[in-house]
Amino acid sequence: MKRTKLLFVASFALASWATSARAQETASATATATIVTPISITKDVDMNFGNVAVQSTAGGTVVLTPAGTRTATGGVTLPTTAGTVTAASFTVNGTSGYTYAISLPTTALTITSGSNTMTVTNFTSDPAGTGTLTGGTEVLNVGATLNVSAAQPAGTYVSATPFDVTVNYD
C-alpha cells in the first residue's frame, strides 16, 4: 500500500511537471523608430513699426498686426508717409502635415535710440499658437505693440538684441 501511494504521488508530480512544460509559449517582437525631418525656423523679414508721431502731452501705442497693418491709440498718430511697415516674417520647415507649437516673447523688448528707449510688448502671430506644415513649410508672421511715451524724442529706435520666436513639433 505504501508503495502504491508513493508510486501514485511520483506519477502525479511527473504529470504536473510535464503538463506545465508543454503550456509554455514564446512570442517575439521587433523595435522600430522613424526619424522625422527636424523642424527649423528662418527669419525672412524684421519687424518695423514705420513712422510714428506722438503728442508732447500724451503717449500711446502702435499695434502692428501679423498681417502688417497698424493702428494707433492715445496721443500717437500715424503719418501719411508711413515709412517701412512690416510684421516680422519667418519660414518654418519640417515634416509635411505635422503640427507645431509657437512660442513668442513674453517679456518686453526694449528698443533704443541713443539713450532714449521704448518697449515692444504683446507679441502675436499668424498662425496663432500652433501651425501645420503643409507641404513641409509654412510662413509665420509676428506683430506686437509699440509703447510710446509722451514727447518721445525723435530717432530711429532699434533693439540691441533680436527677439526669439521658437517652434517645436506638437
> What is the overall mean pLDDT for the chain?
92
- Residue 23's pLDDT is what? 82
The string of pLDDT tens digits covering residues 66-75 is 999 999 999 9
The string of pLDDT tens digits covering residues 33-58 is 999 999 999 999 999 999 999 999 99
Q: Please indicate, yes or no, if residue 19 is contained in any of the structural domains.
A: no
Instruction: Tell me if the pTM is above 0.75.
Output: yes
DSSP string, 24-82: -----------PPPPPEEEEEE--B----EE-SS--EEEEE-TTS-EEEEETEE--SS-
The string of pLDDT tens digits covering residues 76-86 is 999 999 999 99
Say which residue the cell 502675436 belongs to: 124
Question: What range defines the domain where residue 80 resides?
Answer: 40-169
Q: Please indicate, yes or no, if residue 26 is contained in any of the structural domains.
A: no
Is residue 18's pLDDT more than 60?
Answer: no
Q: Please indicate, yes or no, if residue 30 is contained in any of the structural domains.
A: no
Q: Please indicate, yes or no, if residue 7 is contained in any of the structural domains.
A: no
Average pLDDT over residues 100-121: 98
Q: For the chain, how many structural domains are there in total?
A: 1
Q: Please indicate, yes or no, if residue 34 is contained in any of the structural domains.
A: no
Q: Please indicate, yes or no, if residue 23 is contained in any of the structural domains.
A: no
Residue 121, burial from CB neighbour count under 10 angstroms (0-12, 13-18, 19+):
middle
Is residue 3's pLDDT more than 70?
Answer: no
Q: Please indicate, yes or no, if residue 122 is contained in any of the structural domains.
A: yes
Please report, for the domain that includes residue 165, its CATH number: 2.60.40
Instruction: Report, in angstroms and rounded to the nearest whole number, the Rg of the chain calculated over CA atoms.
Output: 34
Q: Please indicate, yes or no, if residue 144 is contained in any of the structural domains.
A: yes
